[in-house]
Amino acid sequence: MILIRVLSVDNYGIYTLVWAHINIFSPLADFGTTTYGIVKLPVEQNKRFNYFYSLRITSSAVALITSIGLALILKLNLFIVLLILFTSPTIIANALSGSYLIILSLKNKQYLSSIVSVLFNLTLFLVFSIVLITTKSLFYLFLSILCLYSVYALLNYFLIKKEFISLKFIYDFKIWRNIIRNSFVFVLISLLAGLYFRLDIYLLNFLKDAKAVGVYSAGYKFFEALIFISVSYTIATLPTLSKIYKSSKDVFKSKIKRDFAIITTTGYIIAVIGYIIAPYMLPFILKNAYSSSIDVFRIVIFALPALFGTTVILNGIYILKKAYLIICVFAFQTIFNFILNVIYIPKYSFIASSYITVVGEILTTIIVVFIFIKHFKYANRD
């Protein structure tokens, strides 16, 4: 939140746009292998990890080049292109950290990945704070991103090497093609989900300006900070859900229902509390130029329970091996998001994007619940 306190609305808008651009290509770097590796890669086949690792390194290099290339094709401001270039090492770093998570999952030691991630993010926060307070410069902020994520990439490499001594790069297109065939559905889901979640930022930038992006992103940031709960849930429960499904489908169904009720209720409670306290708490963080961001937060926070519930159901659909249906859901949602934002942003700006986010998340939850119920019944007959 120190970003919001120090940066102008325009500069914060640029900061958000750069990260949105980079994050859109993260699925290409991952290539679906994190989810596929955690769910599908059995312990007795951990020797296959080298192929996962090698594919991830190659795909992240392709994603990095694609990211920079698209920035040039879109004729973004040269300063923004430079910042994207500074941020590009995050693609390699995330590919390596994902590889570390996969190898730890095979050994039931996922907690180590969480510890490393938390320590790194604390370091990021401290360095960012110092750089912003002393320089108030986007250039030096992104320069520090370049340095820190380069170090983070090297750290994850050595941690992987420690857990998997026989680590090496192996080019084997036949095996890579096999992995891609099985994980590609997760790539498409991630790409469409990323586009769905960040399309409004691009459209606000092109249909309005960087200031509108900054105001919207500042309010959305408080909402986004709470999404870690759903991410943590997925990492913690996917391997367990897979085992439960194999042993008892009834227990699996009960756990999905229980988790859906608990995490959705938690989302509603957080949303109501956030809505009530936002006008009193956020002004201490947001400068006057960001005052409209409070309205954004009070709207988008009500997307939280739906997003939480969707996360639970998506995990269930993955286990049922119906992930390809999620591609259709996010493709529909991306089109839905695009059309409504194009229609309403010119008149209502970021407020339109806020309401569209809530409606979109609720609609997604309804659709995935229907898909899960339908296909679980079919799976139960087998």
Q: What is the pLDDT of residues 50-64, one digit of tens each?
A: 777 788 888 888 888
**Token duo for residue 276:** 């009530």
| pLDDT tens digits along 70-91 | 888 877 788 888 999 999 889 8
Contact 146, 89 (CB under 8 A): yes
CA angle centred on 84, ends 88 and 80, rounded to 5°: 175
Given this model, what pLDDT does residue 38 score?
62
CA distances from 318 to 103, 237, 271, 312, 315 (A): 20, 12, 27, 10, 5
Contact 353, 341 (CB under 8 A): yes
Contact 95, 59 (CB under 8 A): yes
Residues 267-275, mean pLDDT to the nearest whole number: 91
Would you say residue 308 has pLDDT above 70?
yes
Neighbours of 38 (CB within 10 A): 20
Residues 313-325, mean pLDDT to the nearest whole number: 83
| pLDDT tens digits along 101-135 | 877 776 777 678 778 887 888 898 889 889 988 88
Given this model, what pLDDT does residue 359 score?
93
Would you say residue 11 has pLDDT above 80?
yes
Contact 311, 230 (CB under 8 A): yes
| pLDDT tens digits along 218-256 | 888 777 767 766 666 666 676 677 778 777 888 888 888
Q: Which amino acid is at 361?
A: E
Cα 42 from Cα 53, distance rounded (Å):
15
Contact 105, 39 (CB under 8 A): no
- Structural domain spans, the chain: 1-171, 198-382
CA distances from 35 to 81, 331, 361 (A): 31, 20, 22
| pLDDT tens digits along 160-178 | 888 888 788 888 788 778 7
pLDDT band at 351 (very low <50, low <70, confident <90, very high): very high
Mean pLDDT of the chain: 81
What percentage of the chain exceeds 70 in pLDDT? Answer: 87
354 HSE (CA, 13 A, CB side):
26
Write the DSSP symbol of residue 77.
-
Cα 193 from Cα 327, distance rounded (Å):
9
Given this model, what pLDDT does residue 339 score?
92
Given this model, what pLDDT does residue 44 score?
43
Given this model, what pLDDT does residue 195 score?
74
Query: Which 3-state string (H, E, C) describes 202-267?
Result: HHHHHHCCHHHHHHHHHHHHHHHHHHHHHHHHHHHHHHHHHHHHHHCHHHHHHHHHHHHHHHHHHH
**Token duo for residue 9:** 């609305």
| pLDDT tens digits along 203-218 | 888 888 778 888 888 8
Contact 200, 353 (CB under 8 A): yes
Contact 344, 357 (CB under 8 A): no
Would you say residue 43 has pLDDT above 70?
no
Stated length of the chain: 382
pTM above threshold 0.85: no
Most confident range, picked from 35-44, 131-140, 159-168? 131-140
| N- to C-terminal Cα separation, the chain | 51
Contact 67, 22 (CB under 8 A): yes
Would you say residue 371 has pLDDT above 80?
yes
Residues 6+ apart with CB under 8 A from 58: 176
Helix axes 9-24 and 210-224, enclosed angle (nearest 10)? 70
